A = this chain, B = another copy of it.
Amino acid sequence: MKKNNNRRVHSHDVTKAAKEALLRRGVKIEDIAEIVYEMQYPYNDGLTLEHCIKSVERVLLKREVQHAILVGVELDQLAEKKMLSQPLQSIVESDEGLFGVDETIALSSVLTYGSIALTTYGHLDKNKIGIIKKLDTKSGNGVHTFLDDLVASIAACAASRIAHKLRDLEEEGETFKSVPPHELGPEGEMLPVDDEP
- Which A residues are within 8 Å of any B CB, using their own CB? 1-5, 7-11, 13-14, 17, 43, 58, 63-64, 67-68, 70-71, 74-75, 77-78, 83-88, 90-91, 93-101, 103-105, 107-108, 111-116, 118-123, 125-127, 138, 161, 163-168, 170-171, 179, 183-184, 188-197
Q: Report chain B residues within 8 Å CB of A4.
A: 43, 97, 166-167, 170
B164 & A194 in contact (Cβ 8 Å cutoff): yes
Q: How far is the CB of A170 from chain B (nearest CB, A)?
A: 7
CA separation between A97 and B64, bound complex, in Å?
12
Determine which residue in A83, A99, A161 has the highest number of CB atoms from chain B within 10 A of its CB, and name it. A99
Contact partners of A105 in chain B: CB under 8 A? 101, 104-105
Which one of A77, A107, A121 has the greatest number of beta carbons of chain B within 10 Å?
A107
Listed residue (A86, A104, A192) with the most chain B CB atoms within 10 angstroms of its CB: A104
Residues of B within 8 Å of A9, CB to CB, are: 87, 90-91, 96
